[in-house]
Structure 1
Amino acid sequence: MLNKIALVPFVALLAVGGCATTEQTETASGKRDFSEVLYLRGQFNWWDIAPEYKVKKVGDDLYRTEVSLKADGQPYGFKFGNATWSAGTNCGYLSEEFKTIKIGEPAKANCSAVFEDFMFTPPETGTYAFFFDNSGETPVVLVKPAE
């Protein structure tokens, strides 16, 4: 009898918790708004999250952040991801043809990536703008020199 009484609050908590939902904001197009959760993560920041690498919304489904990189001939691995690398917000390359990023050339992304890190070798030391474009059917990543 005592076990049944102890179970009642637990079952009630599960019932209420099961009804809870995580609220996500959407853009005008009806797609998820990534501006509150997405970060540029890579070798340049030890794959960590930091406020300066959080994306900013610059269009309806277009996000941008900047990073200063040193041109030492070595590629930087990176992804766009949230704080916990959750499926749907862990964005690496879609297929091998999009693994290596070249300036100004869009590369298709897979936001359920596990080990598919993009690679970018900066041609010169400077600040680069990293874009995440979710306007199409498949997300796209683009890198350009920052203005």
Structure 2
Amino acid sequence: MPSLTRTLSAFLVTLTLLLAGCATSGGDSANKSGKPDLSQTMYLRGMFTWWDADDAYRLKRVGEDLYMAEAKLEADGQPYEFKFADASWTPGTNCGYLNPEEKDVELGKKLMANCSSKFENFFFIPEDTATYEFYFDDSGETPVIYVQKAES
């Protein structure tokens, strides 16, 4: 009987540790603000990704409600179209420009996004061939996007 008690105790300790590990690993499903963790589902999608939901362009959480993905772009004078979206282009997670006059992105300029967009892609013309950081700020009522040149 003592052997059964020890086995049962060991099992319960192991089960408790496993359950605790599941509850804390893999990232939070929501931020402190109660908003979902977009790094689990959202991507930077555009011409440079062939509009695919590529893991290399999955958003990374860099702040409470701030996300970022990087892309290396060639400065050939042509605009790159992009938006932020999940893998299925789900309504509510398909984020393009909110206002047509704010579709052209300039470095550091914050623009409002519409996450129920269809064909409202942002346009960005890089001045230099470099890696750029594409930010998605979900801290307010309306998401905001901006682009910065990555530090070398």
Per-residue deviation, residues 52-86 of structure 1 (Å, max 9, x unmatched) = 10000000100001000000000000000000000
Unmatched tracts of structure 1, length 5 or more: 1-23
Matches within 5 A, 1:1-147: 25-147=29-151
Identity of aligned residues (%): 54
Question: SS state of the match for residue 59, structure 1?
Answer: coil
Shift of 1:102: 0.3
TM-score (norm: length of structure 2): 0.79
Shift of 1:25: 2.2
What do you get for the CA RMSD once the two structures are aligned?
1.0
Per-residue deviation, residues 99-135 of structure 1 (Å, max 9, x unmatched) = 0000000010000100100000001100000000000
Distance 1:121 1:139 in 2: 22
TM-score (norm: length of structure 1): 0.82
Compare CA radii of gyration and give the structure with the larger one: 2
Q: Stretches of 4+ moved more than 2 A in 1?
A: none
Shift of 1:97: 1.9
